[in-house]
Chains A and B, each alone.
Chain A
Amino acid sequence: MRAIISIFFLAIFCGTSLAQEDDLQAKKDSLIQNDSLFQIAEAERHYNLGVSFMQQNDNSGAIAEFNQALSIMPNFAVAKFNRGMAYFSMNQNDKAKGDFIQVLEMDSTYHQAHFQIGLVQMKNNQMEQAFASYSEAIALNKKQAKYFYYRGMLRFQQNEFKEAIIDYDRAIMLKRDYAYAYNDRGSAKRKLNNLEGAVADYVLAVKSNPGLAFAYNNLGSAKRQQKDYDGAISEYNQAIRLKKEYYVAFNNRGMAKYANKDYEGAVSDFTEAIKIKEDYAFALNNRASAKIRLEKYKSAIIDCDAAIKLDPSYGYAFYNRGIANEMTRDLDAACSDWEKAASMGIEIAGEYKRITCNQ
Chain B
Amino acid sequence: MKKIILTFLMACFVNISLSQKNGDVPFEKEFFKENKAEFKEAKKWLQEGLALVDVPDGFYPNYKAAIPLLKRAYAFNPKSADLCFKLGICEINSSYKFDALHFFQEAYHLKPNVDRMIHYYIGFSKQLHYAFDEALYEYKLYRNALNPATDASKVSEVTKRIMECESGIQLLEEPVRVWIDNLGSEINGKYPEYAGVISADESLIIYTSRREGSTGEEVVNGSYMEDIYISNKVGGKWMQSVGISDRINTKNHDATVGLSNDGQMLFTYYDSGKNRGDLFYSTKEIDGWSKLEDLGKNINNKDTWETGASISFDKKTLYFVSDREGGKGKRDIWKSNWDEEKSRWGEATNLSATINTAYDEVGIFVHPDGKTFYFSSGGHNSMGGFDIFKTTLNDDGTFETPENIGFPVNTPDDDVHFVMAGNGRHGYYSSFKADGYGEKDIYLITFLGEEKIPLMNAEDNLLAMVAKPVTEKVVMPKVEVQQSNLAILKGVIRDEKTQKPLMSSLELVDNSLGVIIQTFKSDPVSGRYLVSLPSGKNYGIAVKSNGYLFHSENFDLPKASGYREYEKNVDLKKIEVGKAIVLRNIFFDLDKYTLRTESKTELERLNKLLIENPTLKIELSGHTDTRGSSSHNKTLSENRAKAVVEYLKKKGISGSRLISAGYGEEKTIVSDADIAKMISKEDKEEGHQQNRRTEFKILSK
Residues of A within 8 A of B (CB): 153, 156-157, 179-180, 183-184, 187, 190-191, 212, 214-215, 217-218, 221, 224, 248, 251-252, 255, 258, 282, 285-286, 288-289, 292-293, 316, 319-320, 323, 326, 329, 346-348, 351-352, 354-356, 358-359
Contact = CB atoms under 8 A, between A and B. Distances in A.
Interface string B464-494: 1110010110001111011100000000000
Nearest to A304: B454
A288 B479 CA distance: 20
Given A348-B479, A359-B425, A323 B465 contact: no
B691 to A, nearest CB: 25
A347 B426 contact: no
Interface in B568-609: none
B456 A285 contact: yes
Contacts of B455: 285, 289, 316, 319-320, 346, 348
Contacts of A346: 455, 476
Given A184-B465, A351-B479, A351-B481, 6 more contacts: A187-B463, A190-B462, A214-B461, A258-B456, A316-B456, A319-B455
Most buried by A among B179, B425, B461: B461
Interface residues on B, range: 20 to 34
Contact of A218 (B179, B425, B462, B471): B462
| Main SS class of interface, A | helix
B117 to A, nearest CB: 42
Nearest to A188: B462
Given A358-B564, A359-B426, A212 B456 contact: no
A252 B457 contact: no
Nearest to A152: B463
A320 B463 CA distance: 30
Most buried by B among A191, A282, A355: A355
B459 interface: yes
B460 A221 contact: yes
B423 interface: yes
Contacts, number: 106
A102 to B, nearest CB: 27
B565 interface: yes
5 closest cross-chain pairs (CB), A and B: A289-B454, A180-B464, A187-B462, A214-B461, A282-B457
Contacts of B452: 323, 326, 352
| Main SS class of interface, B | loop
A251 B461 CA distance: 13
Most buried by A among B426, B463, B482: B463
B673 interface: no
Contacts of A348: 455, 476-479
B370 interface: no
A312 to B, nearest CB: 16
A282 B455 CA distance: 10
Given A252-B458, A351-B479, A358-B563, A214 B472 contact: no
A214 B563 contact: no
Nearest to B564: A358
A355 B466 CA distance: 43
A16 to B, nearest CB: 46
B449 interface: yes
A187 B473 CA distance: 13
A356 B562 CA distance: 11
Given A183-B464, A184-B462, A221 B454 contact: no
A252 B460 contact: yes
B678 to A, nearest CB: 15
Contacts of B462: 156, 184, 187, 190-191, 218
Contacts of A282: 456-459, 471
A153 B463 contact: yes
A320 B465 contact: no
A356 B456 contact: no
Contacts of B461: 214, 217-218, 248
Given A153-B465, A184-B463, A347-B476, A355 B562 contact: yes
Nearest to B461: A214
B501 to A, nearest CB: 26
Contact of A180 (B179, B454, B465, B562): B465
Nearest to B467: A214
A346 B477 CA distance: 11
